[in-house]
Structure 1
Amino acid sequence: MQRYFIAPERFEAASVTITGDDAHHLVRVMRAKAGDQVIVSDGISREALVKLREPEKDRVEADIVEMLPLDREPEVEVWIAQSLPKGDKMELVIQKGTEIGAGRFIPFVSERTVVQLDAKKEGKRIERWQKIAKEAAEQAHRNRVPAVEAPLSWKQLLQLAGQADAAWICYEKENGLQLRQQIQEALSKGKAIRIDSAAQGEAPATDGPEASAKPQTESGGDRIRLLLIIGPEGGFTEQEVANAEAAGCRSVSLGRRILRTETAAMVGLTCILYESGEMGG
């Protein structure tokens, strides 16, 4: 069944309004007619099965048939920090990462990044990335669209790393720590904190700055936030790895094989979600 994300203000008590490109897709591509049913989501807290009224050219109104549970998002929120790769590889990372279950994409520039940022084109590039994330989230039947940030500098990324519960930098020369053991350690620590908070009767914040800083699962608990940092085609320099470790990141290996930068992002994300129980049972 077709799924569309709409702005929260288009979501009313008993009806919804689909506009813009989504309305065009329904009317021109899907040839929708009155009585057809689709799923709509505001990407935050509401999702519903709706029945279409008579479609208009660039506007489709629909009546809510039933509200649906928000149960398709991972219990862990994975942030993919990707050093800008060449060509359209970033689009691939966003598309496939969204399908797999990433919660946030953070492009950044490191020492060996080849791509040159163009301030005049940056706005359009980010807009395209966000559109790709939206379409991939619809295709994968997710409850929300992952955020796609504007590119950061290396220094800005390391400052952001402190907001995550655990942060890892993937480094092909790492001979000790494997990502798997680090994931298990982070998940165990996060679970222990949740149990301790529940035992003390601490309820998660529902408003104010604490609420916006702590992503929540649909069931109400705080998500564990995990940051995975992926380098460019030429990899990280030793100094960058040292800087990352000084900022609280752990250097980890994805295995004995050398992966392309876009492959590393997908492999690391899949490993995290598998170990957290989101994939493979």
Structure 2
Amino acid sequence: MPARLHCPGPLREGQVLALPTGPARHVQVLRLQPGDEVTLFDGNGGEWSAHVVKMGRSDVDVRVQAHEPVEREPARAVHLALGIPANDRMDWLVEKAAELGVASIQPLVTERAVVRLAADRAARRREHWQGVAIAACEQCGGNRVPVVHAPVALTQWQPPTDVVRLVLSLAREGVPLLQAATGDAPVLLLSGAEGGLTAQEEAAARQAGFAPVTLGPRVLRAETAPLAALAALTLAGAAR
């Protein structure tokens, strides 16, 4: 199978282009040679066949060939908004969410979140997480790269309105996830950091139209719960 490389578009048939630094390095690590095939995608759907035409010391040129309108995305769009977990768990969460076909990720600073990011560091982390999502799509075959938004405080976040709003809740009145998420409308799933959302944060979410849902009697880690919900929603959509 040819190496899959993300290359910002627009791409067009017959185009000869220099690969960005990351994909070029990937090609060199693989020791590809002129004539070897690669697959390109720009994150907006479909993928392009291409082949290497030049290998330099640090630059790689490829010629774009035919476009294949193949899609491997879930039938239902699921957006995650979540408290930023500590250490490297956010990297892992972004990677796995991208593999599962998440539509977008909104990192949030919540009351119980350990992570606090200054503006300059927040911008760097967003760029890093976006790179993690791109690499995951290169690996898993996804042709639409999920957008990782800039981190924002939960109290300042303005959630989209054209979605089914659900919040992962530890309260007993939460209904089972799939019972609340019927239909095919896009879903926005809100989840807390370690310890979950505070009672005040969840109350504010409910006032904003988020319905409380549960994944069952077990208490899942902050990085596990949103992925379990994402997997359940995408698999349920594929079964319909």
Same fold (TM over 0.5): yes
State the identity as a percent: 32
- Cα deviations by residue, 1:57-110 (Å, 9 ceiling, x for unpaired): 333222334221231112222111110111111111101110111111100112
Moved more, 86-95 or 117-126: 117-126
Q: 1:58 to 1:174 in 2, by over 3 A?
A: farther
Tell whether the 8 Å contact from 1:43 to 1:144 is kept in structure 2 after alignment: yes
1:100 corresponds to which residue? Answer: 100
Alignment of structure 1 residues 155-174 onto 2, 5 Å: 155-157=155-157, 159-160=158-159, 162-174=160-172
SS in 2 for 1:85: coil
2:9 corresponds to which residue? Answer: 8
Tell whether the 8 Å contact from 2:12 to 2:64 is kept in structure 1 after alignment: no
SS in 2 for 1:87: coil
Structure 1 position 236, deviation (Å): 1.5
Q: Distance in 2 between matches of 1:248 and 1:111?
A: 20
Tell whether the 8 Å contact from 2:13 to 2:65 is kept in structure 1 after alignment: no
RMSD, aligned CA: 1.8
Tell whether the 8 Å contact from 1:19 to 1:58 is kept in structure 2 after alignment: no
Q: 1:54 to 1:176 in 2, by over 3 A?
A: closer
Tell whether the 8 Å contact from 2:79 to 2:105 is kept in structure 1 after alignment: yes
Match of residue 215, structure 2, among 247, 254, 262: 254
SS in 1 for 2:62: strand
SS in 2 for 1:64: strand
Tell whether the 8 Å contact from 2:34 to 2:52 is kept in structure 1 after alignment: yes
Residue 20 of structure 1 pairs with residue 14 of structure 2: no
Please state which structure has a larger fraction of its residues in helix: 1
Tell whether the 8 Å contact from 2:192 to 2:222 is kept in structure 1 after alignment: yes
Q: 1:163 to 1:176 in 2, by over 3 A?
A: closer
- Cα deviations by residue, 1:96-139 (Å, 9 ceiling, x for unpaired): 11011111110011222222222332222112111111101100
Q: TM-score, normalised by structure 1?
A: 0.79
Q: Distance in 2 between matches of 1:251 and 1:85?
A: 21
Q: 1:235 to 1:45 in 2, by over 3 A?
A: closer
Which stretches of structure 1, 4 residues or more, deviate above 6 A after TM superposition? none
Tell whether the 8 Å contact from 1:174 to 1:251 is kept in structure 2 after alignment: no
Q: Distance in 1 between matches of 2:193 and 2:174?
A: 21
Q: Distance in 1 between matches of 2:61 and 2:142?
A: 22
1:179 corresponds to which residue? Answer: 177
Match of residue 202, structure 2, among 241, 244, 257: 241
The number of residues matched between the two structures is 238
Match of residue 265, structure 1, among 216, 226, 232: 226
Structure 2 unaligned segments of length 5 or more: list them. none
Q: Match for 1:24: what amino acid?
A: R
Please state which structure has a larger fraction of its residues in strand: 2
Q: Distance in 1 between matches of 2:90 and 2:136?
A: 14
Q: 1:100 to 1:16 in 2, by over 3 A?
A: farther
Match of residue 231, structure 1, among 192, 201, 213: 192
Q: 1:43 to 1:277 in 2, by over 3 A?
A: same
Q: Distance in 2 between matches of 1:7 and 1:120?
A: 24
Q: Distance in 2 between matches of 1:134 and 1:142?
A: 9
SS in 2 for 1:79: strand
Tell whether the 8 Å contact from 2:40 to 2:50 is kept in structure 1 after alignment: yes
Structure 1 position 257, deviation (Å): 0.2
Structure 1 unaligned segments of length 5 or more: list them. 191-223
Tell whether the 8 Å contact from 2:173 to 2:212 is kept in structure 1 after alignment: no
Q: Distance in 1 between matches of 2:197 and 2:53?
A: 54
Q: Distance in 2 between matches of 1:43 and 1:16?
A: 19
